[in-house]
Amino acid sequence: MPPIDPQTALETALRETLELQHKCLGLYEQIEGLRGECLAYQLMAESLLETAAQGAAARSVATLQVLEAGHLATSGTLYRRGFARVRASFQSRLPRPVAMQGSGA
């Protein structure tokens, strides 16, 4: 298996996350257009949106953890702090139990 290029992997993870966020925003705009429509349908759509957003955040955290495990041991302090900030940002968007699992707590 070829070595993982941390820069490329991070860029890919962030690009995929932005694409998912864009899709979630489109879904949210559609949900907002349903005001006055069937409440059950709107609630179901909002639930799907929340699930998609949580999935995007969880995937990003997992990707960052893989990169950290493989590359941060040989990296400088500034690089480690940058990864920690990005991971914390994604974890802050997760529901509490998932965020705790992702951090190893």
pLDDT tens digit sequence for 11-42: 777 777 777 777 777 777 777 776 666 777 76
Mean pLDDT of 84-102: 62
pLDDT value, residue 16: 78
- DSSP per-residue string spanning 24-36: HHHHHHHHHTTTT
Which band of pLDDT confidence, cut at 50, 70 and 90, is reported for residue 105?
very low
Q: Which amino acid, residue 82?
A: G
Which band of pLDDT confidence, cut at 50, 70 and 90, is reported for residue 98?
very low
**Could you say which DSSP state residue 3 is in?**
P
Residue 74 has pLDDT above 60, yes or no: no
The residue extents of the domains of the chain are 7-102
Q: What is the pTM of this model?
A: 0.38
**CA distance readout (Å), 99 to 61, 85, 91, 105:** 9, 14, 5, 9
